Amino acid sequence: MLLTLTATSSPALPDASDLGYLLHKHPARVQGADLPVGRVTVFYPEASPERCTAALLLEVDPVEQARGAGRPGWALGRYVSERPYASSSALAVAMARVLATALRGRCDARPDLVGAELDLDAHVPAAAATGAGGGGADLAERLFAPLGWHVDAAAVPLDPQLPRWGDAGVVDLRLRGRLRLADALTHLYVLLPVLAGAKHYWVSAEEVDKLLRAAGTWLPQHPERELVTRRYLASQRSYVDDASARLAALEGVPDADDPAPGRSAPEVDGDAPRARPLAVLRREAVLAELERLGAARVVDLGCGEGALVADLLARPWVREVVGADVSAAELDRAARRLDLARMPDRQRERVRLLQSSATYRDRRLAGYDALVLVEVLEHVDAERLPALERAVLAAARPRAVVLTTPNVERNAGYGLAEGQRRHPDHRFEWTRAELAAWAHRVGQEHGYSVAHSGIGDDDPQHGQPTQLLVLQREDAA
């Protein structure tokens, strides 16, 4: 199995060979590791300032493969199989083994490159592609094109000399696009097994966490979200239902720039950049405010699966992060997402996960530089808001509170009826005037100044889809 990833020189990457920093693999060395199914090797066929190609080669051990269970439902599966040749879940496992840090989007040596969009070319000469109707090439287009890739997929015949035998269930897949390297790698890591429609190992509940951890920033808005989820989880209903519910919780409604359900998308220039997910824009806005405030010690109250906690740990100016949530299950998922069990001791000392509630006083949350409530307020019963105010502004009393909540004025743009909320668990959703009135009241009562703004595309009449509120303690400003 072979994957090549090529970067060409661009303003964001003047020296293409700096790709090695992002991959954490030196272009001058051949590196590898042993896996249960064989050996994976990373090497560079070319590395120059103009063009750099990294190759990942997985050589499957056919003896180890034959010792496995074989293909379910097919007695000859352990003896006759395309797995040693067609890239699928085994290649994804190899990527996770040798490119783990690059998949997480970390590069301490060149942090300036982490967020840079690079001109990339990914090539998988033989990618398993089966089922879902329309053929493997069509499925590849449906999976990768919505993520910003130009897709060139050609079906491979079973035997070129005997075309009547049809296709081999394999495509020659080439992807071109301008993306962050970490995004490109996670697309391949998740979608190659989806394209194949099967995995070489038993699918357990941990696969749900893996899917959310790798694709949580882009899968909620993918037009083939249900297909991706179902095929990634081997159509196991309980896992699919769990993943679907958690994806919906990540983003209760489509992005502000996406059409409402049942409406056609507006025509756009094919070269225009795709709208970025609102969940990502929210986290970026919160991080920018925390950096502006100089918040080195931060509490993420209602942290869920830990997406913001992970982003905070990646910021060198953050010394300590506390992720708190009322749900023990969400905290377990956050621990797995952060990979706490294998986190280096120095990094592990910077983070704590606590079970706590936004409506109860908890002295463990007191005295921090900032306390963050991202999409939490609207999940609290209205009669419990005074308890939240006391717990956060009087008891915890951070130097600053950074809060986001939906702007109900934008709901009509999502095709929602009057009175319908963006998520079934929302107890209320406020207009901009309602949030401002609440903020100024609690700010005056507890000695906090108020700054009120928005996140997402700005409608002249109805404002932005997410409201951003920053409360800063006046005696600490």
Helix (H) or strand (E) holding 15: none
Other C-beta atoms lying within 10 Å of the C-beta of residue 426: 18
As beta bridge partners, residue 151 has 175
Cβ atoms of residues 443 and 477 within 8 Å: no
Is the pLDDT confidence value at 375 over 70? Answer: yes
Which is higher by pLDDT, 164 or 77?
Answer: 164
Structure confidence by residue, pLDDT tens digits, 314-369 = 899 999 999 999 988 889 888 888 888 888 888 899 999 999 999 999 999 999 99
pTM of the model: 0.58
Cβ atoms of residues 296 and 316 within 8 Å: no
> What does the DSSP assignment read for 426-473?
-S--B-HHHHHHHHHHHHHHHTEEEEEEEESPPBTTTB-SEEEEEEEE
Report CA-CA distances (Å) from 369 to 86, 389, 441, 453: 52, 17, 22, 21
Which is higher by pLDDT, 169 or 48?
Answer: 48
Is 299 in a helix, a strand, or coil?
A: strand
Q: Which of 286, 364, 294, 289 is nearest to 324 (CA)?
A: 364
Structure confidence by residue, pLDDT tens digits, 438-464 = 999 999 999 999 999 999 999 999 999
Is the pLDDT confidence value at 383 over 80? Answer: yes
Report CA-CA distances (Å) from 435 to 245, 406, 418, 452: 28, 10, 19, 9
Q: What backbone phi and psi angles, to 5 degrees, belong to 332?
A: -65, -40
Is 106 in a helix, a strand, or coil?
A: coil
The residue to which tokens 């319908």 are assigned: 420
Q: Which of 301, 341, 339, 293 is nearest to 318 (CA)?
A: 293
Question: What is the per-residue pLDDT for 250?
Answer: 61
Question: What is the per-residue pLDDT for 257?
Answer: 37
Residue 372's pLDDT band (cuts 50, 70, 90): very high
Structure confidence by residue, pLDDT tens digits, 87-109 = 778 889 899 999 999 998 888 88
